[in-house]
Structure 1
Amino acid sequence: MSTVNYEKEHPRVLIPELCKQFYSNGWVTGTGGGISIKYKDQIFIAPSGVQKERMEPEDLFVQDVNGEDVQCPPPEKQFTKSQCTPIFMCSYIERQAGAVIHTHSPDVVKLSLLNPENEVRISGLEMIKGIYNEEQGRFYNNDEDVIIPIIENSKFERDLVETFQQALKKYPATSAVLVRNHGMYVWGKDWKTAKTQCECYDYCFNILVFKKTNNI
């Protein structure tokens, strides 16, 4: 257990705290999913293959904006960097994100199965107002449509980078990308914005799944 006292907004405090919350939400079960936060000129990344609800401050990987490792967990822990890292970095570079969340939310996966198309459309829901339109530089109004791209899954997440980048170009307004049968990536200017949007997306997706499965 780390004995260093970090400020409460430091990623080494925030990431374990948020991962514990995401675990309770059912978003990061089975060691899957993760989060990355940019802090000053460094990027903090949750490790791969660990019990997210038991993560400690010292367990994080830290790299610079060029992707070079700056700090790693203690060697005896034998942790590896999150497999999400290439997508995290793509979000930082392509969208100037301040934080990126990757969830394995059941509603996200259900929706991708129920939606054979390459996108999801949300309309008529109040929680749309918590989603950021990156093209317009503002949050959506509740009378607007939010369109989120779906890309196909692959064996390794590093192989998703090309289609992820293509989705960002095709959907300049989006602040999220769904990966079919897998999960979702959501980003924001900081961790609060990314977290808020993740909650709003998941709420809306839960409603969409209900509507589709009940033919409403």
Structure 2
Amino acid sequence: MAENGGTDLDVQFIHSHDPEHPANLICTLCAKFYGLGWVTGTGGGTSIRHGDHIYIAPSGVQKELMKPTDMFVMDFNTKAYLRKPQTHKPSACTPLFLAAFERGAGCCIHTHSQWAVLVTLLVERDSSKDALFEIEELEQIKGIGKGRGKSGNLGYFDRLRIPIIENTAHEEDLRESLEAAIEKYPDSYAVLVRRHGIYVWGDNVHKAKTQCESLDYIFQLAVEMKKLGLPWTK
């Protein structure tokens, strides 16, 4: 199939009145994420796997103003673009989204949350560059899944652990370290990027969104706990 943004491809991939269609849903989600301060200044992004098709928000656009016609569509098996808008660039996050999809995710969200950035700096300052973000005995931890291949969510007394990787000059260069972190910590549904943000995924859009919201709440609370001298773990 030709790689272009032609009308024939629009009809096939992005024209739908269903608000849950990936092309529509990515626009809705990114507008909400903008309101949360997660995708300001064209940063961040969202991708959804729909069968063998991957829908990806473009790079360098104002995420709160996106339209379905802005979406890139990729074949999951061949990694070839089925729809490629000529006025936009493919997302630099694409290799990282693919890393999550290749491990069973149905949706991956990337944010530039200030709270996510701050906890990476606090972990580095108070522990080391090799340390995880760890916290326990918070009710919101129940919003996070137990891990790949496991049913249910974490409990109040479980410890939440999220790996942290170092940032790079170019986003696509993060893939190797992100994949290494996923393999080392297979129960994690997220990877923090120091001084950058976070990647969060889930089996479907609902789970990815729920986990991203829960984690951001936890990160904000963790920053406030540090201000008060309260420990994250026993």
TM-score by length of 2: 0.87
Matched, 1:43 2:54: yes
Displacement, 1:213? 2.4
Displacement, 1:162? 1.1
Q: Cα deviations across residues 69-118 of structure 1 (Å, max 9, x unaligned)? A: 00122x2xx2101100000001111x210000000000000111111133
Displacement, 1:214? 2.5
Partner of 1:141: 155
Partner of 2:3: none
Partner of 1:196: 210
User: Residues 63-78 of structure 1 correspond to what in structure 2 (within 5 A)?
Assistant: 63-65=74-76, 66-73=78-85, 75=86, 78=87
User: Residues 74-153 of structure 1 correspond to what in structure 2 (within 5 A)?
Assistant: 75=86, 78-93=87-102, 95-116=103-124, 117=128, 118-135=131-148, 136-153=150-167
Secondary structure of 2:210's aligned partner: helix
Q: Which has the higher strand share?
A: 1
Secondary structure of 1:132's aligned partner: coil
Matched, 1:205 2:222: no
* In structure 2, C-alpha distance between the alignment counterparts of 1:5 and 1:133, rounded to whole Å: 34
CA radius of gyration, larger in = 2
TM-score by length of 1: 0.94
Q: Cα deviations across residues 164-187 of structure 1 (Å, max 9, x unaligned)? A: 111011111100000000000000
Matched, 1:29 2:37: no
* Structure 1 unaligned blocks of 5 or more: none
* In structure 1, C-alpha distance between the alignment counterparts of 2:228 and 2:90, rounded to whole Å: 41
Contact 1:28 1:104 survives alignment (8 Å): yes
Contact 1:132 1:139 survives alignment (8 Å): yes
Letter in 2 for 1:56: K
Letter in 1 for 2:121: L
* In structure 2, C-alpha distance between the alignment counterparts of 1:88 and 1:206, rounded to whole Å: 25
- Identity in percent: 46
Q: Cα deviations across residues 145-194 of structure 1 (Å, max 9, x unaligned)? A: 01000000000111111111110111111000000000000000111100
* Structure 2 unaligned blocks of 5 or more: 1-9
